[in-house]
Structure 1
C-alpha cells in the first residue's frame, strides 16, 4: 500500500537464494504519508545505485543484478526499471500489482481509484508519469518476469502489461499465480515445492545466472 513494510519482511528469501548461489539485498524506501510515490521511486533508484557500486566487494557482479518487488514494491520495481532508473539491471521480477497503468485502472473502476490507490496516487496529473506502462518501449528493457495472484483484476492488468512489453520487443515470462492470495504469492517464495519459486528460479538462471 506504499505505506507499510520494511526490509526485514523477507521470509525464506535470503536463505533460499544464498543456498542457490545468489546474493540477496533487501532495501527500504520512505513510506506514505511522509514521502509520496515519486519520492519512493527515487529512494529505490538510490538504493540500487549503492548496491551496484558496492556489490562486487561482497562477491557479486554489478552487471548481473535482478530487481524483485511485491505489491507496492512490484510497482516501484517496474516503474524504476522501465524508466531507466536502474541502469544496467539484468532482470526484473514483478510480483503482483494492479498499478502498471494508473489511468486504465481508474477507468476500469468507473473513473475513480479505489481508496488504497487513491491514497497513493491522489493527483491525476501524475498518473501517467507514475505508471510503469508509460515507459514501455522508451528504450531497451531487461527481461521481465510478471506474476499475478487470485484477484481477477490482477490477471487482467498483468496480461495487458505483458502484451505491451512483448509488443515492444521485451522478453517476458508471465506466471499464472491465481492459486495464491496476494500475500501468499510473496510469503511462500523460497519454500520447498513452491511453484512460483521454481518459475522465478528458471527465469533467473536463464537471465542472470
Structure 2
C-alpha cells in the first residue's frame, strides 16, 4: 500500500534479530545496556508492565563530563513496535559517546495517540530525573524517532503542555531528530482520507478532528521550538514526503533552527535500518547537534 503513512515492522524484526546474532559474535560492543526500567509509577492509572519500560545504553568508556542524551521513540503505525527491536540504535549511539534511552509506550487499540504522547513525555521526565546516574546530562536531552515515533518526538518538542501537566516547569527537550516522520499533520491527513484503508488510523487517532489537530506538531511548532534535524527518504510514502516538506516550510517561516536532508533512493523502512551503520548521515548530523565529544 504505497500511500500508507506507517508499515508493520515484522520484516524489521527478523532483520534486526539476524543482525543481533551475527554482530554479537563479530563485534565487541563498547557499551552497557540496562534493560526494562519502569518509568511510570505502577500505581498510576493505566499502568502497563511491558509498555511503561525503557532501556538505557551507556558508553563503556569513562568520561569526567556528563554525556548528551538521546531518547529514541520507535515507530509502527501507532499499533506495533518495541524497544527491543531497536537495540542497534542504542548500541550505535552509545558507541559514539551518547547515552541512549530506547522507550516503549502504550499502543492502539488499547490507547489513542494522546496517551502515547503522555507516555513518551513521562519517559523524558524519567530521563531528566535519573539519567545523571547513567552518565547522561539532564540538561542535554534530545528526542529522536522514526515514522510514528518521529511524529511523537516532534509533538513533544513543540507542545510544552505534555510536560507542564506533569509539573515540569520547562520543556526539557533541547532538540529533535526526525527520521521519515509520520503524523506531522494528521488533521489535514484524516480530513482528506485520500488513500485506501485510511480508516485504520481512526483507531489510534479517534474520530474527533480537534484531537487530530491537537496531536499534530504542525500546529504547535513556534519560534521558540528547539533545533530539529529532519530526514526524509527519496522513495518514502507520498504523504510523508508532502507533510515533511510542509513542516520544513513552516520551520523556515518561523526561523526555527533546522536542517533538512533528503536521502535519495531510501524507502520508509530502510530509513531506520540504516541506523545500524554508525557512519550514516543521520548519526553524522546528530552528533553535531547534540555536541558529543565521543
Does TM, scored on the shorter chain, surpass 0.5? Answer: yes
SS of residue paired to 1:203: helix
- Alignment partner of 1:182 is 2:258: no
Against the structure 1 CA distance between its residues 147 and 108, is the aligned structure 2 distance closer, same or farther, given a 3 Å change threshold?
A: farther
Aligned to 2:214: 129
Aligned to 1:101: 185
Report the TM-score when normalising by structure 2: 0.64
Contact 2:145/2:178, CA 8 A, preserved across alignment: yes
Q: Which runs of 4+ in 1 moved over 6 A?
A: none
Contact 1:148/1:158, CA 8 A, preserved across alignment: yes
In 2, distance between residues paired with 1:60 and 1:98?
28
Contact 1:96/1:148, CA 8 A, preserved across alignment: yes
In 2, distance between residues paired with 1:53 and 1:192?
28
SS of residue paired to 1:141: coil
In 2, distance between residues paired with 1:59 and 1:115?
44
Tell me the CA shift for residue 97 of structure 1. 2.5
Tell me the CA shift for residue 191 of structure 1. 0.4
Alignment length, in residue pairs? 207
In 1, distance between residues paired with 2:95 and 2:79?
31
Contact 1:106/1:112, CA 8 A, preserved across alignment: no
- Choose between structure 1 and 2: higher strand proportion: 2
Q: Could you say which structure has the larger radius of gyration?
A: 2
Aligned to 1:29: 105
Tell me the CA shift for residue 114 of structure 1. 1.6
Mark the runs of 5 or more structure 2 residues left unpaired by the alignment.
1-76, 164-170
In 2, distance between residues paired with 1:200 and 1:115?
35
Decide which of 171, 176, 195 is 2:281's aligned counterpart. 195
- Alignment partner of 1:76 is 2:161: no
In 1, distance between residues paired with 2:132 and 2:282?
28
SS of residue paired to 1:8: helix
Tell me the CA shift for residue 43 of structure 1. 0.4
Report the TM-score when normalising by structure 1: 0.88
- Alignment partner of 1:50 is 2:149: no
Contact 2:193/2:199, CA 8 A, preserved across alignment: no
Contact 1:67/1:92, CA 8 A, preserved across alignment: yes
Which one is further off, 95-104 or 62-71? 95-104
Mark the runs of 5 or more structure 1 residues left unpaired by the alignment.
none
